[in-house]
Amino acid sequence: MKKFTIACLATLILNLACTPEEQVLTIGFGSCNEPNQTQHLLPTLNNALDSLDYFIWLGDNIYLKNGQWNSYDSTMARYNAVFGQAEFQDLLGKSKHLAIWDDHDAGPNDCDLSTFTGFSTTMRAFKDFWKPDYPQPNKQSYYGRKLLADGKVDIYLLDNRSFRTNKDSTNPTVFGVEQLNWFQNTLKKSTAQVHIICMGGQLLNTAQVFENMSNYPEERALLLQWLSESPGKSIVLTGDRHSGEINETVINGKSIIEVCASPLTANAHPHDNEKNDTRIHEKTTDTQHFGVLQLKLCDSNNGQMKAGLYDSNGTVLFSLRETP
């Protein structure tokens, strides 16, 4: 396992100089934040943020306790209890932050439309805390797209809770028809070199366990088809699992990558024995970590990418690098 010097993170990950026509974009990401369980990753993450352009919170950013999801005030109190701590205030003061939610930000564990009716309350708190600054087509949700690097990078922030139905229901869905139509149409019209899709729960993992998209095979197949047909590179950032891994699949000759980073501070639960056909390494992570994605963007479309998962010692646990 290779270590990096966090102060030189942006330089050392790709170790590439850029010409004036090129840009390097460095994005951190992670999920599952329950600081009552652990906090030993935070100093390393804090140092890394000095070199990150953005950090994306991929859901379960807070863990609402029983009944807190029933009230806007108690939901906001939970945000303040977690992110009001000095360590998190320091984190939020560095870099730029984006966020999506997952079940523990939205309501009870594994909540969907059949088990929970309070999404509007927790959604209002989510928006008031994170203050998303990109266009949102549906006022009852936060899903939307943020353009970076002069339009060379599209970040799609997807809502996997507000429209979700049970996997055993008729025509089950995670994202809902309206959001799926928006995503497909937006993806078709995009001219970006790189599409970064942020979603709670794994997309590529083939194991039909927990809340993986493999439990919704028809919708999963649609998403993968659209990504395979879109121009540019497709990179999916996910969380939720309390273990991290890098997955890759090839569809219609096009590589699609998923990097799952989980947990930040919650307890870790490795899933080494899952029957996941897309994992590019033998095991999953077994400790707290965060992800870093670095993109070298060139006008010629021949950009470069490296993704890695890093633990509290700054050790790279798993990584993937792609160059022309």
- On the question of pLDDT at 318 being above 50, the answer is yes
What is the per-residue pLDDT across 25-80, written as a single tens digit (0 to 9) for each? 999 999 999 999 999 999 999 999 999 999 999 999 999 999 999 999 999 999 99
Alpha-carbon dihedral sign for residues 240, 223, 246, 41: negative
- On the question of pLDDT at 1 being above 80, the answer is no
Strands 233-238, 245-251: parallel, antiparallel or unpaired by DSSP? unpaired
Provide the pLDDT for residue 2.
40
- On the question of pLDDT at 19 being above 70, the answer is no
Which domains are delineated in the chain? 26-313 (3.60.21.70)
Q: Range with the lowest mean pLDDT among 127-136, 291-300, 314-323?
A: 291-300
Provide the pLDDT for residue 301.
66
Q: What angle do CA 250, 252, 253 make, to 5 degrees?
A: 60
**Tokens linked to 271:** 């899933």
Provide the pLDDT for residue 17.
53
Provide the pLDDT for residue 20.
56
Q: How confident is the model at residue 324 (pLDDT cuts 50, 70, 90)?
A: low
Between 219 and 10, whose confidence is greater?
219
4-22 per-residue burial string, b: 16 or more CB within 10 A, e: under 16: bebeebbbebbeeeeeeee
Strands 23-30, 290-297: parallel, antiparallel or unpaired by DSSP? antiparallel
Q: Residues with Cβ < 8 Å from 10, sequence gap 6 or more?
A: 24, 26, 51, 52, 294
SS3 string, 138-165, reads CCCCCCEEEEEHHHCEEEEECCCCCCCC
**Tokens linked to 21:** 């026509």
Provide the pLDDT for residue 9.
52
Phi, psi (rounded to 5 degrees) for 75: -65, -45
> Which residue is listed with tokens 């963007």?
297
What is the separation, in whole angstroms, between the first and last Cα of the chain? Answer: 25
